[in-house]
Amino acid sequence: MTSDLAWQPSLLDGALDASAVSFDREFTGLRRQHLERGAWLDLAPRWCTGADVLFARLLAEVPWRGPREVRMYDRRVVEPRCTYRWHTGSGPPAPDPLPAMAVCLSERYGVEFTQIGVNLYRDGADSVAWHGDRVARDLPEALVALVSLGAVRPLRLRPTGGGAGIGLLPGPGDLLVMGGSCQRTWQHSVPKVRAAAPRISVQFRHVYQ
């Protein structure tokens, strides 16, 4: 399924050499944006270098599942994207350097990121509707970190219940961390677009009880 996807690696990101993949353990380019209602975003452009190498490896090696049916608030809907999850201490480990990224993020934010997930948007028709993370949206505060790989797709956020939203265009290797009350007081989505090359979102979560 994934081997037939049309994707062109960036000419700026070097040859597809596995040793080219690294990430900024010092978070030197990170900037915080405060939102309303106690939410905030941290954005570190090109936090992961060799992003195209990592994208190609995940695209080829992950046993992608989906599209699948998921619970969205009070109903079940078909999720038009492919996914996979790894859990620390259970099952096979995530590919390198994802576990090291999780440890680095855990040390910075003081929360253990024990779940690593990947979402594959195969083309412009794949998307995710407005939502906050299912468990985290019931908590006063929660953290979700993601690294974008592959094509640039719009990521939109809006206050829950209405209000002025914001739009982001995370590029290959960009790190985005949603914190504070973001999952509870804001919603986010990746909308459908007319045409797009494949994109992978790598997500790091603490499994809140």
The whole-angstrom distance between residue 135's C-alpha and the CA centroid of its chain comes to 17
Q: What is the distance between the alpha carbons of residues 13 and 20, in angstroms, rounded to a whole number?
A: 9
Quickly count: other Cβ atoms within 10 Å of residue 140's Cβ.
9
The whole-angstrom distance between residue 183's C-alpha and the CA centroid of its chain comes to 14
pLDDT given for residue 88 in this prediction: 85
Among 1-10, 39-48, 138-147, 182-191, the minimum mean pLDDT is found in 1-10
Whole-model pTM above 0.85? yes
Q: Taking the chain, what is the end-to-end CA distance rounded to the nearest angstrom?
A: 35
| pLDDT band, very low/low/confident/very high, at 102 (cuts 50, 70, 90) | very high
DSSP for 1-20 reads -GGG------TTS-SS-GGG
What domains lie within the chain, and their CATH numbers? 28-206 (2.60.120.590)
Q: What is the distance between the alpha carbons of residues 5 and 194, in angstroms, rounded to a whole number?
A: 16
